[in-house]
Chains A and B, each alone.
Chain A
Amino acid sequence: MRGVKQIVLLVVSLLIVLIFMFPFYWMLITSIKPISEVVTSPPIFITRNPTLDAYYTVFTKWSMGRYLLNSFIIAFPTTVITITLGVMAAYGLARFQIKGLRIFLLVLLVSMLLPDVSLVLPLFMIFSKIGLLGKFHSVILADVMLQLPFVILILRPYFSRIPKTLEDAARIDGCSFLGALLRIIIPLALPGIITASILTFLFTWGEFTFALTFLSRSEMQPITIGIYNTIGQYGIRYNLLMANSMIAIMPVVLIFIFFQRYIRGGLMVGGLKE
């Protein structure tokens, strides 16, 4: 009886998950259809003639590779800077008696909840004044701001959990301060640092608003803006649009598959980011 109930629950849940994930399947299948099967009535759910034509087109006739590279050029430094600042702050918050700790945490929480649109206009004007507009720096600087509060909030509990006596013991055994940090503290906080790095990279990979506004030259735009610009261009050639989208989410899917447990933990601990 118990077994039957479990099987029913499993089947129902699988169905729900399949329906929920269906938009991804539809993106995949559209991207590998020949154009003649894309706009049909009734729709074709399983193609008999899969083809990579659409991928070939978007890579050759359209600079997909460049957009991917740009996304890396933006997301990688953003992650490194955010994590460096975040680790320092989280360590400081966890290890030392800080006056105004609550206020600082409050500032972090509020800044995490503010919309990106509220920064885009003032930053646009400030960057244009100091000549950063149209350069990768502008987007990187803004993206770090978007992720930093969230990263500090994720990291802090990982550092708080490390007993202070451990660091003291290392110091007594002759470890320098930096040695203790690099050999004891950072390795113990590593799961948190990995989680924060993955999430920062993924959110920056998908960032839209700043890149849309600060980078007007197409050879500098990241993939999110690259595929946005094709919406009007490709019209109803949806196999091309879907091939674009597939390429844009590939890194996301790979990271998600390999690091799922880190991601889940991070989203929960970090105080819930959309």
Chain B
Amino acid sequence: MNLKLIQKGGVVGYLWILPAFLYIILMMGYPIIFNIILSFQDVTTTTLLNPVKEFIGLKNYFDVIKDPVFHKVIENSFVFTVGCIFFQFTIGLALALLFNLNFPLAGSMRGVLLITLMVPTVVVSIIFRWLLSGDFGLINELLIQVGLLDKGIAWLAEPKMALGGVMLANIWIGIPFNTMILAPGIASISPTLYEAAAIDGAGQVKKFIYITLPLLRPTILIVLVLGFIYTFRIFGLIYAMTGGGPINSTNLLPIQAYKLSFSFFNFGQGAAAIGILLSILLLIIFVYLMLVSREEVME
């Protein structure tokens, strides 16, 4: 009786999961395989409607990589990702430490910051286009008033400055994300450790270096790796801010992949660029999974 129930329960269990499982297979599994096949075929606007597409091996991948723009794209992607993570992690950690102190409204203020994560990214793009505008943009006006600039810079139209401009917008979104993940980790450190250290004569800095940082290490690793994945894959925010320009100065790998398909209509190369993006991300995701399984977040 009992055994029968469990067996029956087992089958019923799969039926509950089946719709979601099929959905993921159909809408993610199949498209990704489709994309991989596409990346080995010659598919442009002229060949798009051919019933049989020519298999051209790795040619799309070679063409994507040999393109001089691609080096710029890879360089941009890593500068953008590492730069954003450096600032959003440092500031996010500082805020997590601050809001963890005991004072009125600390929790609610930390909560309010989260709104940047919920706002449509295209709105963030438009706000920062305005803030960074060369024509009366607020950031220019402030820099001129404190004497750091003589005249305004069109931040997003200037190839040397544009990447910094889009990074500013993304760091603004990323800070609460870092704070949100780090704060519970900090709160879980036992206060008795700090008290004991204080008795031994440790100051704030020493407490931070010898207690907070080591105990926070697993959380820090997770937030850095997740941050890398989320930053490296960013598309909409930058596409709406600069479209990857001027002269590819803010062109990142997801943008380049999108443009190969939907601006230059070279679908095979677009698929290959996605293949490269996915390979990089899967490598990092693998590292992330090793980390979380070691920390037993997966139960």
Number of residues from A at the complex interface, CB < 8 A? 98
A107 to B22, CA, bound (A): 12
**Interface residue ranges, A against B (CB under 8 Å):** 5-7, 9-10, 12-14, 16-17, 20-21, 23-24, 26-27, 30, 38-43, 85-86, 88-89, 91-93, 95-99, 102, 104-111, 113-126, 141-142, 144-145, 148-149, 152, 202, 205-209, 212-213, 223-224, 227-228, 231, 236, 238, 241-242, 244-245, 248-249, 252-253, 255-256, 260, 263-264, 267-268, 271-272, 274
B113 touching A23 by the CB < 8 A rule? no
Q: Is the CB of A85 within 8 A of B277?
A: no
- Chain B residues contacting A123 (CB-CB under 8 Å) are 27, 31
**Contact indicator A209/B236 (Cβ below 8 Å):** yes
Q: How far is the CB of A90 from chain B (nearest CB, A)?
A: 9
**Taking the complex as formed, is B44 at the interface, i.e. its CB lies under 8 A from any CB of chain A?**
no
The A-contacting residues of B in range 258-299, CB under 8 angstroms, are 258, 261-262, 267, 270-271, 274, 277-278, 281-282, 285, 288-289, 292, 297-298
A-B contacts, 19 of them at CB < 8 A, read A7-B103, A9-B103, A13-B99, A27-B127, A42-B145, A88-B19, A96-B13, A96-B14, A97-B9, A119-B32, A126-B34, A148-B23, A206-B121, A206-B122, A208-B239, A224-B120, A252-B115, A263-B114, A274-B117
Are A256 and B118 CB-contacts (below 8 A) given A16-B98, A89-B17, A236-B135? yes
Interface contact B115-A122, CB-CB below 8 Å: no
Residue of B14, B27, B135 touching A39 (CB-CB under 8 A): B135
Q: Bound state CA distance, A90 and B126, in angstroms? A: 38
Contacts of B10 in A (CB 8 A): 96-99
Are A89 and B21 in contact (CB-based, < 8 A)? yes
Q: Specify which of A10, A99, A149, A241 is in contact with B126 (CB 8 Å cutoff).
A: A241
Cβ contact of B235, chosen from A10, A89, A106, A209, cutoff 8 A: A209
Knowing A30-B130, A117-B254 touch, does A13 contact B103 (C-beta < 8 A)?
A: yes
Which chain B residues lie closer than 8 Å to A148 at the CB level? Answer: 20, 23-24
Contact B120 A122 (CB under 8 A): no
Assembled-state Cα–Cα distance A89/B24 (Å): 12
- Given contacts A42-B145, A206-B122, whether A104 and B21 have CB atoms under 8 Å apart is yes
Q: Is B28 among interface residues, defined by CB-CB distance under 8 A?
A: yes
Contact call B123/A85, Cβ cutoff below 8 A: no
Q: Kindly list chain A residues whose C-beta atoms are within 8 Å of the C-beta of B13.
A: 92-93, 95-98
What residues of B have a CB within 8 angstroms of the CB of A115 in the complex?
Answer: 233, 235, 254, 277, 281
- Which residues of chain B come closer than 8 Å to A202, judged between CB atoms? 118
**Cβ contact within 8 Å between B285 and A92:** no
**Pair A117/B38 contact, Cβ less than 8 Å:** no
**Chain B residues closer than 8 Å to A86, beta-carbon distance:** 20
Which residues of A lie under 8 Å from residue B9 when comparing CB positions?
Answer: 95-97
In the complex, which residues of chain A have a beta carbon less than 8 angstroms from the beta carbon of B285?
Answer: 110, 113
Residues of B within 8 A of A260 (CB): 111, 114
Which B-chain residue is minimally distant from A88 (CB atoms)? B16
Q: Are A231 and B106 in contact (CB under 8 A)?
A: no
| Of A117, A126, A227, the contact of B277 (CB 8 Å cutoff) | A117
A271 and B135 in contact (CB under 8 A), knowing A13-B99, A95-B13? no
* A96 adjacent to B12 (CB under 8 Å): yes
Inter-chain CA distance A213–B136, complex, in Å, is: 33
A268-B117 Cα distance, complex, nearest whole Å: 13
Instruction: Return the CB mask of B111-146 against A: 1 if under 8 Å, else 0.
Output: 111110111111111111111010110100110110
- Of B159-167, B176-184, B204-212, the stretch lying at the interface with chain A is B176-184
When the two chains form their complex, are residues B16 and A118 in contact, meaning their CB atoms are under 8 A apart? no
Please tell me if B199 contacts chain A, counting CB pairs below 8 Å. Answer: no
The residues of B with any CB-CB pair to A shorter than 8 Å are: 6, 9-10, 12-17, 19-21, 23-24, 27-28, 30-32, 34-35, 38, 95, 98-99, 101-106, 109, 111-115, 117-131, 133, 135-136, 138, 141-142, 144-145, 172, 175, 177, 180-181, 184, 226, 229-230, 233, 235-236, 239-240, 254, 257-258, 261-262, 267, 270-271, 274, 277-278, 281-282, 285, 288-289, 292, 297-298
Tell me if B98 and A13 are in contact (CB < 8 A): yes
Of A21, A97, A115, the most chain B CB neighbours within 10 A belong to A115
Residues in B whose Cβ lies below 8 Å from that of A9: 98, 101, 103, 106
Let me know if A118 and B32 touch, CB within 8 A.
yes
Q: A97-B9, A117-B258 are in contact. Are A122 and B126 (CB under 8 A)?
A: no
Given A43-B141, A95-B13, A121-B38, answer yes or no on A228-B240 (Cβ-Cβ < 8 Å). Answer: yes
Q: Is B38 touching A145 in the complex (CB atoms < 8 A)?
A: no
**Chain B residue at smallest Cβ distance from A226:** B122
On whether A6 and B104 interact (CB within 8 A), knowing A117-B257, A263-B114, A272-B226, the answer reads yes
Specify which chain A residues have a CB less than 8 angstroms from the CB of B144 in the assembled complex: 41
Q: Contacts A123-B27, A208-B121 given; 13 further ones with Cβ under 8 A?
A: A97-B9, A109-B289, A110-B282, A113-B226, A117-B254, A121-B261, A122-B31, A145-B24, A148-B24, A152-B20, A206-B118, A209-B258, A248-B120
